[in-house]
Amino acid sequence: MTDDVLISTQDRVGRIRLNRPKAIHALTTGMCEKMSEALLGWRSNDEVEAVVIDHAEGRGFCAGGDVVMLARSGDYDAEEAKEFFFAEYRLNHLLLTYRKPTVAIMDGITMGGGVGISMPCTFRVATENTRFAMPETGIGLFPDVGGGWYLPRLPGRVGEFMALTGARLDGAECHYLGLATHYVEQASLADMIDRIATTPQRVQGPIGAFAATPPDTKIAANLPNITKLFASDRLEDVLAALEADGSDWATTELATLRTKSPLSCKVSLRLLAEGARREDFADEMRAEYALAGRVVRTHDFREGVRALLIDKDNAPQWDPPTPEEVTDEMLDVLFAPLPESEAWTPFPETENERV
């Protein structure tokens, strides 16, 4: 058995390398706990001045989490799923409050849980291979791991557009939108990391030295349409706007939205609207943890995983089947806060560090 996460140091840099290539490095509870253990150990270790997170062999940085496990857990009491979310969100919060520079190498597929461990990092490096997305509405979930915090803070309504459609962005688009801080060609990554290891006290210098000029982006031309047609926090309004517009772009996005879970889309819009008003990332994690533990038990999540990942018939039967049938009362039940005794908490070492 090989380790799913490789922990090491290179000179004065802590290295975290995801190593589950057959699953495109999708996260498990144990992987999250092991990464957090390493990060907590390095916090007070003067011999480690910076941290680099990337993947070892295989393609993709991180495809997300073990959603099949989450769905099977949701069939029962969801306890295993909640254990995973608790560990994953503690890792997300730890990274965002970390006092030393962190670097995420978003080379290849960076989705779901991969977004959760890259977005909190000080430096986020995209490449020509980056494929960045939050595709959760296609399986009846929602953009968690801080999606409710990051997405509404993107320009215009790009975050809402990404949450609803699951749009995949390339590395240049990630850099354009600020999801990535730098764009570096994949062939330069190894040399860049070696240079970081020699000057960990000045991480930005080595990254900047290897940064390339990204190509032009499609998302730039589409921003006016996104801002206009995805302006509403009400799913029915977004669908009506796309239908009324009638352009090829709008028609394509409308067709995409029709394939998504109406419940998940409404959950996502409400999460982003509430997240935009939050002032503390820990509060976001508490809200997402309460929500996630309930959503994994819904029909749509288990059905979405069945249709896309287990039976692979790509024909999920959503329930409710239309946006109009998803009521505010349904959402209120999912969004209700947990009792204090069941609520998510950050690591004790980070609980007073607000972001």
Average pLDDT (190-212) is: 95
* 91 within 8 A of 32, measured Cβ to Cβ: yes
pLDDT confidence tier of residue 58, bands split at 50, 70 and 90: confident
Q: Which residue from 64, 53, 145, 101 is spatially nearest to 344, judged by alpha carbons? A: 145
The CATH class for the domain spanning 5-342 reads alpha beta
For β-strands 131-133 and 169-170, DSSP reports them as: antiparallel
Q: What is the per-residue pLDDT across 108-151, written as a single tens digit (0 to 9) for each?
A: 999 999 999 999 999 999 999 999 999 999 999 999 999 999 99
| Cα separation, 283 vs 260, whole angstroms | 27
Q: Which residue has the tokens 């820990």?
A: 282
The whole-number pLDDT of residue 350 equals 82
> In this model, does residue 21 exceed pLDDT 70?
yes
Average pLDDT (49-62) is: 93
The whole-number pLDDT of residue 267 equals 98
Q: Which residue has the tokens 């709008």?
A: 250
Q: What is the per-residue pLDDT across 59-89, written as a single tens digit (0 to 9) for each?
A: 899 999 999 999 999 999 999 999 999 999 9
> In this model, does residue 239 exceed pLDDT 70?
yes
- Please provide residue 245's backbone torsions phi and psi, each rounded to the nearest 5 degrees: -65, -50
Q: What is the per-residue pLDDT across 154-200, written as a single tens digit (0 to 9) for each?
A: 999 999 999 999 999 999 999 999 999 999 999 999 999 999 999 98
Average pLDDT (24-32) is: 96
The whole-number pLDDT of residue 130 equals 98
The whole-number pLDDT of residue 6 equals 97
* 262 within 8 A of 326, measured Cβ to Cβ: yes
For the chain, give every domain's residue range.
5-342
The whole-number pLDDT of residue 2 equals 65
Catalytically active residues, by annotation: 65, 113, 136, 144
Mean pLDDT of the chain: 96
Q: What is the per-residue pLDDT across 318-331, written as a single tens digit (0 to 9) for each?
A: 999 999 999 999 99
The whole-number pLDDT of residue 352 equals 74
Percent of the chain with pLDDT over 70: 99
| Exposed / middle / buried, residue 40 (Cβ in 10 Å: 0-12, 13-18, 19+) | middle
CB burial string 43-74: b at 16+ within 10 A, e below: beeeebbbbbbbbbeeebbbbbbbbebbbbbb
* 137 within 8 A of 326, measured Cβ to Cβ: no
Q: Is the pTM of this model over 0.85?
A: yes
